[in-house]
Structure 1
Amino acid sequence: MPTAAAADPGGLTGTVLDAMEALGAVGVGLAILVETVVPPIPSEVVLPLSGYLAQTGRMSLVAAFLAATAGSLLGAALLYQLGAWLGPSRSRRMLARLPLVDAADVDRTFAWFERHGRSAVLLGRLVPVVRSFVSVPAGVVRMRMPQFLAYTLIGSAVWNGALIGAGAALGTQHELVERWVGVLDVVLVVGVVLVVGLGVGRRLRRRSSRLEG
């Protein structure tokens, strides 16, 4: 019977997959906890494989889903606490040191997150990289913890359930999930980069106009 090690990509991800297979649903929860805090470990690999392992009877499908969602919540809560520890003042000082960023930009970002934080947390769970780091600004602006956990739970449950279910449905072809979700991730990342690039371009033009004036 194929194992996680048979398709082991090596490195940190490979170690996580081996642990997941050895520990069952508990390993799935730990893998997703680490994935939430350390984005280079891709949930696009972990979750479909856990679905496949459940389909072969090596763990319960429901247990895999519950463990993955618990891992997502715990990881998000840890990053939320990091944001709460940083707080607005410390975050403002740190971010304002970045090129092309000033305190007014940071204040506007915080104000936007206070208005739209629920949508950001909910939808952010479906976007690579953002999936992890969206918890930090939620902590910075002190989004109400029950509200933060509720929206994180919904977004995580959708993401985890879809990928675990797809891995179980495809069986030995579970790697197809990683392939197609990877394509979607690239599209989303390109979209985010374009939006950020347009914002940077506008700021450069404004600075240039002020210097010429």
Structure 2
Amino acid sequence: MNIVEWAVALIDRFGGPGVAFLIALESVFPPIPSEVILPLAGVSAAGEGHALAGMYLWTLLGSVTGALILYGLGRALGRERLRRAIILMPLLSVEDFDRSVTWMDRHGTKGIFWGRMVPGVRSLVSIPAGIYRMGLGRFVLLTAAGSALWNALFVGLGYRLGENWHVIEPYTDAASTVIYAIVAALVLWSLWRLIRRERRRRELGLPDPDEAAMAELDAESERADAQ
């Protein structure tokens, strides 16, 4: 049984709660595609015993629940723990981390809203919102608003197409693949950029900026313990 067959069986058995569970799970585990789950919810809403509005609300509940799980993880991790982790296993430089803080301060609202409509990104965007301690009410509102548009599109398509919803599956799969490829390319580019920076720093005999950052964090921890 593949993911789609499993999702169909779950929706047939549990209806709206099953849809909410699948959408929440998709937020935490991106390989489960919401572009397939949402049309299935629309197809189910067109059948007996279900209503379109009710099924749509279940999808929103799932979207917000999954986002809150990742938001909570980010909040528990915190900015300073993340900064220390980046220094210890440098997937990014401290400068990149500081730039991400500035970007979040300036564009976090747009990132949370529009990120809900991008495969892969919608599973990740909730974590920095928690790390940078975006207000919970604001986060839930932005997540619900972005999810409302995205979910309405695919639930509506599934409802309209009914059992013929499979005709859109190749297009949604292709779009998801392109997005994942872009995200993977960005990660590889960041790693290449970091490796090139380190290689150049060593050739020039320059000090490691991460060592100074780690010393600063250690000093801050000592001051906090002393208080």
Normalised TM-score (structure 2): 0.81
How many angstroms apart in 2 are the aligned matches of 1:123 and 1:131?
Answer: 8
Aligned residue number for residue 123 of structure 2: 132
Residue 203 to residue 94, structure 1, CA distance change in 2 (3 Å)? closer
Structure 1, residues 83-141: CA drift from partner, whole Å, max 9, x if none? Answer: 11111111122233334423332222222222211111111111222211211110000
Aligned residue number for residue 9 of structure 1: 2
Matched residues, percent identical? Answer: 37
* 1:186 equivalenced with 2:185 (yes/no): no
How many angstroms apart in 1 are the aligned matches of 2:65 and 2:166?
Answer: 27
How many angstroms apart in 1 are the aligned matches of 2:122 and 2:23?
Answer: 12
Range 32-41 or range 114-123, more displaced: 32-41
Structure 1, residues 35-86: CA drift from partner, whole Å, max 9, x if none? Answer: 2222222212211111112123342111111110011111111211111111
The 8 Å contact of residues 92 and 190 in structure 2, kept in 1 or not, is answered as no
How many angstroms apart in 2 are the aligned matches of 1:149 and 1:62?
Answer: 20
Aligned residue number for residue 166 of structure 1: 157
List alignment gaps of at least 5 residues for structure 2: 205-227
- How many residue pairs get aligned? The number is 204
List alignment gaps of at least 5 residues for structure 1: 1-7
Aligned residue number for residue 70 of structure 2: 79
How many angstroms apart in 2 are the aligned matches of 1:206 and 1:37?
Answer: 33
Residue 47 to residue 100, structure 1, CA distance change in 2 (3 Å)? closer
Corresponding letter in the other structure for 1:172: E
Aligned residue number for residue 203 of structure 2: 212
Q: CA RMSD in A?
A: 2.0
- Give the drift of 1:204: 3.2
How many angstroms apart in 2 are the aligned matches of 1:161 and 1:74?
Answer: 17
* 1:117 equivalenced with 2:108 (yes/no): yes
Aligned residue number for residue 30 of structure 1: 21
Range 141-150 or range 108-117, more displaced: 108-117
Aligned residue number for residue 142 of structure 1: 133
How many angstroms apart in 2 are the aligned matches of 1:64 and 1:121?
Answer: 24
Structure 1, residues 2-22: CA drift from partner, whole Å, max 9, x if none? Answer: xxxxxx525xx6444322211
**Larger of the two Rg values belongs to structure:** 2
Corresponding letter in the other structure for 2:2: P
How many angstroms apart in 1 are the aligned matches of 2:10 and 2:181?
Answer: 32
Of residues 36, 42, 51 in structure 2, which corresponds to 1:51?
A: 42
How many angstroms apart in 2 are the aligned matches of 1:158 and 1:174?
Answer: 19
Aligned residue number for residue 5 of structure 1: none
The 8 Å contact of residues 117 and 150 in structure 2, kept in 1 or not, is answered as yes
The 8 Å contact of residues 167 and 177 in structure 1, kept in 2 or not, is answered as no
How many angstroms apart in 2 are the aligned matches of 1:102 and 1:57?
Answer: 55
The 8 Å contact of residues 70 and 127 in structure 2, kept in 1 or not, is answered as yes
